[in-house]
Amino acid sequence: MAVVYPSPAMSSSIVTQTVQSSTIAPMVIYNQPPVMNTVTQVVQSAPPPVIVFPRPTETPGQMRCPFCQQQIITQTTYTSGMMAWVICGVLGILGIWPCCLIPFCMNSCKDVKHHCPSCQSLVHVYRRM
């Protein structure tokens, strides 16, 4: 069995040790600096769930105001849009001109504007056409 011990001149080099035995094959052991196995556990908190509400249509809907960032139920107003004008034009072309103004009196033919009740800003427009 031969053992090589490090000398001061060999302190930076790799030291080898050879072990020989009659029943075991020669084995080379390299002396290396000890390796520290550290386990770092990173705890990440889950982000809060994002609740996405469907866009409001004809009726007031619940949503988050993009301007004041509050959870609101919108206020609605009806305005004449493209659908009211198309129905008016079709009735006029068909010769039913006395009925041309009916679409401007019916909310079901008008566009719906949704406003925030706290900051009064326009948050969504539901267009019929």
pLDDT digits (tens, 9 = 90+) for 120-129: 999 999 998 8
d(CA 74, CA 117): 6
Given this model, what pLDDT does residue 54 score?
Answer: 78
If asked whether residues 27 and 83 sit together in one domain, one would say no
Q: Which residues of the chain have pLDDT under 70?
A: 1-43
95's torsion region: left (phi>0), alpha (psi -120 to 50) or beta? left
Quote the domain boundaries for residue 85.
62-126
Given this model, what pLDDT does residue 36 score?
Answer: 66
Nearest to 71 by CA among 47, 52, 57: 52
Given this model, what pLDDT does residue 107 score?
Answer: 93
Residues 6+ apart with CB under 8 A from 36: none
Structure token digits, residue 72: 């609101």
Angstrom distances, CA of residue 4 to CA of 7, 24, 33, 34, 90: 9, 19, 17, 19, 105
Residue 128: alpha-carbon gap to chain centroid = 29
Given this model, what pLDDT does residue 103 score?
Answer: 93
Q: How many domains does the chain have?
A: 2
**pLDDT tens digits for range 60-76:** 988 889 999 999 999 99
Angstrom distances, CA of residue 30 to CA of 10, 37, 76, 125: 14, 19, 80, 75
69 falls within a domain: yes
Given this model, what pLDDT does residue 56 score?
Answer: 84
If asked whether residues 26 and 66 sit together in one domain, one would say no
86 falls within a domain: yes
If asked whether residues 70 and 117 sit together in one domain, one would say yes
If asked whether residues 71 and 122 sit together in one domain, one would say yes
43 falls within a domain: no
